[in-house]
């Protein structure tokens, strides 16, 4: 994939429709609604050449708490258990006073005794320090450990770009204890309490004073990037795909299921479009989630769906579709997001004629309600199928944001009704009065009828499918609501039915 020289995480769009936008139409005096989808164009502020600040230290000194405090929001998972953070978590930090911005990276803890993934975590943390403009060396005010001593020794070669941050200095009483850390010779030493916010303003001032912002370019009003979430069960290749797309090792890749915990974010440019891609924790069945850390990881992954445009659901091609895959897809569809079903690890499948077509048809047979979703064969490890994946993401995003003129929509509805008239009968007879598109991304439509309760689910399904087929939305979920054409006092309003 084509990438920027220095990949910068994207800031949030300045105008993004809510996950569940209002569908209440305005009306003419005659009672006919007139509204078109009412979303402001999605734009954002993007930065280039931001200085990089890396938070480093041994496990459980409060690095992630400080990271969240500086961002003024919860991005990294915080837990008393040492070693929660594994991947380097990366965000743009915009200070509230002064308007300065920089890249802030939270790293995994430095350990002397290592097992399992610890070697990969430490290697990733040390690599982050190489490219840093400023290192925040975080220690615990109450104790100095051999890991602190060893890490301080390793950091000495970067002393000219290091701030020693003594955390958990909750009061001036603890400041006296914290001076023991001054023996390392790092200057300045700043006492903070990340949890309570004590002296964080002083830390922010110190950070700004040590950084060079002369090369920063602020680009405002730019078209918002396509926000892509990579989801799926543990060990389906999500992190491998993220690394492939952004062109660097953003996420730690391991055969150990559940390696990713925090949301890892990256960005890339391909086919003339900008993308923000989010790697999420693998989602297991609820009954198998036993640790608090995994619970927080999974919860954070689910919330990512509300903040993305398209979900790439990674399915192990050898294992096939599982009930958990269906649940993840159903949740994304409930939020109105586009879903792409990626059969990953396809390089391990037998090279037989029409094998992909057979796998695709089988998937659609057992997951009929998602028959519209694109299905792709992918090998994230080998980089196969990425070009088609990116093209499909762009297509799905375009359909999610397609606007339909009201006159065109109503002519289409009239044609559909003429082609397949509603049932005839005293209890089933109804008339469709007017149709309107009430939302884009997610796509929502309302059709007003004289008797909404008489419109059966089969006919609603017919109309919804025709919207997809004839209005260029054949690869995305569509919500169609039938409402009473008279005021609610005269008829009970209908309910949304989709997708």
Q: What residues have CB less than 8 Å from 299, skipping those under 6 apart?
A: none
Place of tokens 């078209």: 223
Helix axis angle, 406-419 to 457-470, nearest 10°: 130
For residue 9, being part of any structural domain is answered with no
Q: Tell me, what's the pLDDT at 72?
A: 81
Q: What is the CATH number of the domain that holds 429?
A: 3.30.300.20
Q: Tell me, what's the pLDDT at 497?
A: 65
For residue 38, being part of any structural domain is answered with no
Q: Tell me, what's the pLDDT at 470?
A: 97
| Last residue in a domain, options 335, 367, 400 | 400
Residue 422's SS3 state is coil
> Quick one: 120 and 183 in the same domain?
yes
Residue 478's SS3 state is strand
Domain holding 66, by residue range, is: 48-216
> Quick one: 340 and 407 in the same domain?
no
451-486: pLDDT as tens digits: 999 999 999 999 999 999 999 999 999 999 999 986
Q: Take residue 85 and report the two structure tokens written for it.
A: 């953070």
More confident residue, 5 or 50: 50
Domain tally, the chain: 3
329-379: pLDDT as tens digits: 888 888 899 999 999 999 999 888 899 999 999 999 988 889 999 999 999
Q: Is the backbone of residue 277 left (phi > 0), alpha (psi -120 to 50) or beta?
A: beta
> Quick one: 94 and 180 in the same domain?
yes
> Quick one: 394 and 408 in the same domain?
no
Place of tokens 């608090």: 292
Are 328 and 232 within 8 A, CB to CB?
yes
Q: What is the CATH number of the domain that holds 311?
A: 3.40.50.300
C-alpha to C-alpha distance for 57 and 9, rounded to whole angstroms: 23
Q: Take residue 38 and report the two structure tokens written for it.
A: 């009412």
> Quick one: 483 and 336 in the same domain?
no
Closest listed residue to residue 11, CA positions, set 197, 274, 251, 391: 274
For residue 34, being part of any structural domain is answered with no
Please tell me the least confidently modeled range out of 22-36, 158-172, 237-251, 377-391. Answer: 22-36
For residue 100, being part of any structural domain is answered with yes
pLDDT at 16 over 50: no
Dihedral of CA 110/114/115/117: which sign? Answer: positive
Q: What residues have CB less than 8 Å from 476, skipping those under 6 apart?
A: 338, 372, 396, 399, 400, 443, 468
Q: Tell me, what's the pLDDT at 115?
A: 47
Residue 277's SS3 state is strand
C-alpha to C-alpha distance for 204 and 95, rounded to whole angstroms: 8
| Last residue in a domain, options 349, 372, 400 | 400
371 alpha carbon, distance to own chain's centre: 24
């Amino acid at each position: 994939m084509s990438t920027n020289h220095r990949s910068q995480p994207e800031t949030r769009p300045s105008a993004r429709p809510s996950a569940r936008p209002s569908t209440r139409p305005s009306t003419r005096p005659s009672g006919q609604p007139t509204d078109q989808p009412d979303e402001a164009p999605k734009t954002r502020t993007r930065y280039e050449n931001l200085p990089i600040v890396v938070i480093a230290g041994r496990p459980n000194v409060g690095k992630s708490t400080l990271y969240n405090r500086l961002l003024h929001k919860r991005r990294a998972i915080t837990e008393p258990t040492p070693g929660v953070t594994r991947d380097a978590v990366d965000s743009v930090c915009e200070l509230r006073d002064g308007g300065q911005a920089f890249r802030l990276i939270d790293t995994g803890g430095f350990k002397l005794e290592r097992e399992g993934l610890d070697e990969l975590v430490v290697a990733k943390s040390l690599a982050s320090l190489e490219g840093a403009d400023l290192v925040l060396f975080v220690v615990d005010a109450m104790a100095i450990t051999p890991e602190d001593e060893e890490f301080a020794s390793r950091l000495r070669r970067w002393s000219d770009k290091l701030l020693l941050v003594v955390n958990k200095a909750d009061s001036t009483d603890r400041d006296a204890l914290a001076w023991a850390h001054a023996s390392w010779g790092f200057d300045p030493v700043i006492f903070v309490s990340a949890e309570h916010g004590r002296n964080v303003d002083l830390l922010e001032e110190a950070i700004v004073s040590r950084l060079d912002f002369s090369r920063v370019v602020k680009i405002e009003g730019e078209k918002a990037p396509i926000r892509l979430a990579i989801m799926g069960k543990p060990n389906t290749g999500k992190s491998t795909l993220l690394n492939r797309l952004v062109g660097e090792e953003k996420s730690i890749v391991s055969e150990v299921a559940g390696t990713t915990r925090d949301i890892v974010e990256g960005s890339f440019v391909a086919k003339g479009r900008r993308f923000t891609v989010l790697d999420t924790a693998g989602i297991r069945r609820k009954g198998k989630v036993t640790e608090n850390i995994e619970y927080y990881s999974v919860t954070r992954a689910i919330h990512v769906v509300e903040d993305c445009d398209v979900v790439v659901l990674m399915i192990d091609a050898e294992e096939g579709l599982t009930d958990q895959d269906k649940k993840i897809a159903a949740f994304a569809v409930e939020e109105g997001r586009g879903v792409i079903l990626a059969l990953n690890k396809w390089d391990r499948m037998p090279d037989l004629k029409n094998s992909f077509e057979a796998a695709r048809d089988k998937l659609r047979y057992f997951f009929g309600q998602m028959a519209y979703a694109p299905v792709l064969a992918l090998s994230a490890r080998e980089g196969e199928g990425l070009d088609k994946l990116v093209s499909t993401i762009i297509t799905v995003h375009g359909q999610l944001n397609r606007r339909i003129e009201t006159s065109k929509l109503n002519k289409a509805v009239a044609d559909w009704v003429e082609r397949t008239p509603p049932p005839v009968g005293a209890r089933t007879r109804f008339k469709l009065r007017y149709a309107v598109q009430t939302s884009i991304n997610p796509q929502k439509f309302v059709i007003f009828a004289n008797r909404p309760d008489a419109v059966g689910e089969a006919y609603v399904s017919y109309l919804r499918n025709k919207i997809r087929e004839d209005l260029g939305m054949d690869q995305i979920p569509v919500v169609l609501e039938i409402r009473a054409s008279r005021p609610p006092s005269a008829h009970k309003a209908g309910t949304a039915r989709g997708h």
